[in-house]
Chains A and B, each alone.
Chain A
Amino acid sequence: MNFNFTEEQIQFKDVVKSLLADECTPSSIRDGWSAKKSFNQSRWNKISELGVLSSNLSEEDGGLGMDQVALSLMVEEMGYAGLPEPVAEQTFLVNDLMPLFTVGMKDEIKSIHESGNQYIALAHPLSPNPLFLDHAAALLLFDESTYQFILKEDLNFKPLASNDPSRELSAIDSIKKSISSSKNFETLNSAVTARGSLMTAALLIGLAQKMLDLSSAYVLDRNQFGKPIGSFQAIKHMLADIAVEIEFAKPTVYRAAHSLLDKNPKSNLHCSHAKYMSARAAELACKNSIQAHGAMGYTWEMDLHIYMRKAWSLMACWGNEDKQQDIIYKTLTASRDELGVLYTF
């Protein structure tokens, strides 16, 4: 039993953190908003050079063979920075599933990776509007019983506005040509659903932490009644409540990541648990952070909403709290005897 990270995992996380601190600032995100081009190719390339995009591909596929635990730590940092580019989506939802795709699709994906443009978008009933199709080489599309691989030139799509301007979404109009399969569908669909929950959970942890840090800094800075408002208990307690929620959501994310790695039969439950806890933490972080900022928190000018908007979107897609609750409830009642003190690990 060692529920702890390796030094290497922490190092990777720190490398990603410092790159994003330089490359993904609030003003660079706002630049993307004004230009309606939130996908910053140069930032994407820098992340790619670091090896993050292919980190969890096997070494024979040109990756680092890194596991989901290390990846979830890095994804947390992407959440913290409010990274617009779909790096988490690419690593968790496409690369991590490579071994499960049909040989034909795998070859297609590999040839795209080798051609230099590494981005393949994904659409699924739980997150039906793919991100940044303009920048994608292809789309993986899941419906209720099949999955398809579609080259971008074979797609007709139109833009959809998201409440988070750094999520450029599309609606699919028509498909000219695709490789379609239903082979392994149940396995693949359950794997992508679990990863969607885990990925959004890790991003939400980072976002919640960012909102808490912004709020802590703001309440130190803002004076009323002759002192920083952060010295008032009403403010302190709101922020402490966020810290508590984050603290107890985090280990659920790391456990879920470990369960995927370990092929734990309960990994779907664990991923749902992670999303459930993280969404609640992020929801409280939004509510209490805006309150701690007062009217400033309600403005476009303050950076808080950059992260809040992303959190709202990520809470909603890949299974919101209500859906995760339903999954958890059904799993618990179906395995009542395996509940309680002896079944955590």
Chain B
Amino acid sequence: MHLLKKEMQILKMKINFTKDQNIFRQEVRSWLVDNVPKKSLPSLDTKEGFEQHRQWEKTLNSGNWSMVTWPKEYGGRGLDLIQWLIFEEEYYRAEAPTRVNQNGVFLLGPTLMEFGTHEQKSKFLNAMATGDHIWSQGWSEPGAGSDMAAIRTTAVLEGDNYRINGQKTWSSRAAYADWTFGLFRTDLDSERHRGLSFILVPLDLPGVTVRPIPQLDGEPGFAEIYFDDVIVPVENLLGGDGEGWKIAMATAGFERGLMLRSPARFQQTAAKLLNLYIENEEHCSPMMQSKIVEAWAQSESYALSIYHTASKMLAGGSIGSESSLGKIFWSELDHMMHQTALKILGASAELSNSSEHDAAQWIKGFMFSYGGPIYAGTNEIQKNIIAERLLGLPK
């Protein structure tokens, strides 16, 4: 008698889209065909481009596409993660504009959903969905980069307000954004990750000074924010006073995990890279083929892994330190693909204005890909997290 036999009850794994999922895909696709701007928008890190991207957020919202996984009452559609992945696939396929509010919709949004009060959710999620509030991130400080627990910017409770003093830096999108969220030290006697609070701050308040920082591409994608006696009402505290670290870790998990970098983005790059190689094959050595295969194989693996994770989450699982594995994988993959593209381009790889083979686009993407292993927690920090929390190695 076979021991396994009596437990035979196989509900098969099914990795095909259902009819309803395909209908949803068609719905997304046809809306995007009708609405994605024919001509690509100016860079979102210019004043003009930022406003056009804000306008695009409004257009998305008019079709109810701001964030399909959010509940309907906050401007979403209440859909599941698989539908979100389908939406993302169509979004990248349509080459729709970059989400200027990704700090909001992908990072703060899920955090608010988990930790926000009803009032906070109604106020912030709706304004986020409509593009009225574009968010920047306020984590790092000059003395607190990888060591985020070294934060020194203070928020002192005075009656119904916090008084904020200090400086944030590398604040993505802050040059033109409306709000920032981040960690502030509310207990002045505290050390490290204790005594920090998660506070939402409008950037147009008296005492706030934003100094844009030009990035590698010359555009101000991030900024320094100075706080000089800035008064913020206590309603802007997310979660409890002193619980900031816990909440920030949840946000960082979203960023590294499923939300920030959906696989479609990298699959689209891998497909473009193959086409670029085929157009230029005669100028390249066959060595490049192995890089093309690596690009396809890894972007495909990333997609499979995300669908695998999403399926597990739908079955009640959760994502924790595993998100660090993904962050390393996609950021290294993205850099490798852009490096390969530049090699294929040969001497045109320095022509930053050339439209031939989209050289300028590849160069811009190449520079941006150097950021991946740094932002959202450097890959070295991610490796520490993997070693300590997944492999059980000592601090």
Contact = CB atoms under 8 A, between A and B. Distances in A.
Interface of A: 1-6, 8-9, 11-12, 15, 49-52, 54-55, 64-67, 69-70, 212, 216, 219-220, 227-228, 230-231, 233, 235-237, 239-241, 243-244, 247-252, 254-255, 258, 261-262, 273, 276-277, 325, 328-329, 332-333, 336, 339-342, 344-345
B395 to A, nearest CB: 7
Interface string B265-287: 00110110011001000000000
In this complex, the member of A49, A52, A248, A273 whose beta carbon has the largest number of chain B beta carbons within 10 angstroms is A248
- Find the residue from A8, A65, A332 having the highest chain B CB count within 10 A: A332
B5 to A, nearest CB: 6
Contact of A49 (B3, B289, B297, B315): B3
Nearest to A54: B2
Q: Which of A11, A227, A239 has the most CB of B within 10 A?
A: A239
A49 B1 CA distance: 7
B393 interface: yes
Contact of A341 (B13, B268, B315): B268
A249 B312 CA distance: 17
Contacts of A52: 4
B10 A340 contact: no
Contacts of A65: 8
15 contacts: A1-B82, A4-B13, A50-B2, A65-B8, A66-B4, A231-B395, A236-B386, A239-B387, A243-B386, A243-B390, A251-B301, A273-B300, A328-B293, A339-B296, A340-B268
Q: Classify the secondary structure of A's interface with B.
A: helix
Contacts of A328: 293, 296-297
Nearest to B18: A1
A2 B307 CA distance: 8
A15 B7 CA distance: 11
Nearest to B3: A50
B290 interface: yes
B7 to A, nearest CB: 6
B21 A1 contact: yes
B388 interface: yes
B315 A4 contact: yes
Nearest to A213: B391
A273 B8 CA distance: 30
Nearest to B322: A247
Given A341-B268, A344-B267, 6 more contacts: A8-B10, A9-B13, A220-B393, A236-B383, A325-B293, A345-B17
Interface in B250-269: 263-264, 267-268
B383 A237 contact: yes
Contacts of A49: 2-3
Given A8-B7, A244-B329, A248-B298, A231 B293 contact: no
Contact of B391 (A1, A69, A212, A277): A212
B384 interface: yes
B93 interface: yes
Contacts of B271: 339-341
A248 B390 contact: no
A195 to B, nearest CB: 18
A70 B43 CA distance: 49
Contacts of A230: 387, 393-394
A76 B202 CA distance: 53
Given A239-B391, A244-B328, A9 B10 contact: yes
B234 interface: no
Nearest to B313: A4
Contact of A240 (B307, B383, B392): B383
Given A1-B21, A231-B395, A339 B274 contact: yes
B87 to A, nearest CB: 11
B12 interface: yes
B16 interface: yes
B296 A344 contact: no
Contacts of A55: 4
A275 to B, nearest CB: 10
Given A12-B4, A230-B394, A6 B325 contact: no
B157 interface: no
Contacts of A325: 289-290, 293
Contacts of B301: 248-249, 251-252, 273, 277
A270 to B, nearest CB: 9
A240 B301 CA distance: 18
Contacts of B268: 340-341
Q: Identify which of B2, B17, B326 gathers the most chain A CB atoms within 10 Å of its CB.
A: B2
B393 A70 contact: no
B380 interface: yes
A247 B16 CA distance: 22
Given A51-B4, A64-B2, A254 B13 contact: yes
Contacts of B305: 247-248, 250-251
B303 interface: yes
B11 interface: yes
Contact of B13 (A3, A15, A54, A342): A3
Given A216-B392, A236-B393, A51 B3 contact: yes
Contacts of B303: 341, 344
B259 to A, nearest CB: 17
B8 A332 contact: no
A273 B18 CA distance: 25
Nearest to B272: A340
A1 B15 contact: yes
Nearest to A215: B391
Given A1-B21, A236-B387, A243-B390, A8 B278 contact: no
A250 B301 CA distance: 9
Given A1-B18, A244-B329, A251-B304, A332 B293 contact: yes
B82 to A, nearest CB: 5
Contact of A258 (B13, B290, B298, B386): B13
Most chain A beta-carbon neighbours within 10 Å: one of B3, B7, B13: B13
A341 B9 contact: no
B222 interface: no
A165 to B, nearest CB: 29
B302 interface: yes
Nearest to B14: A2
B393 A336 contact: no
B246 interface: no
B292 interface: yes
Nearest to B266: A341
Contacts of B93: 340-342
A243 B275 CA distance: 32
Contacts of B307: 1, 3, 251, 344-345
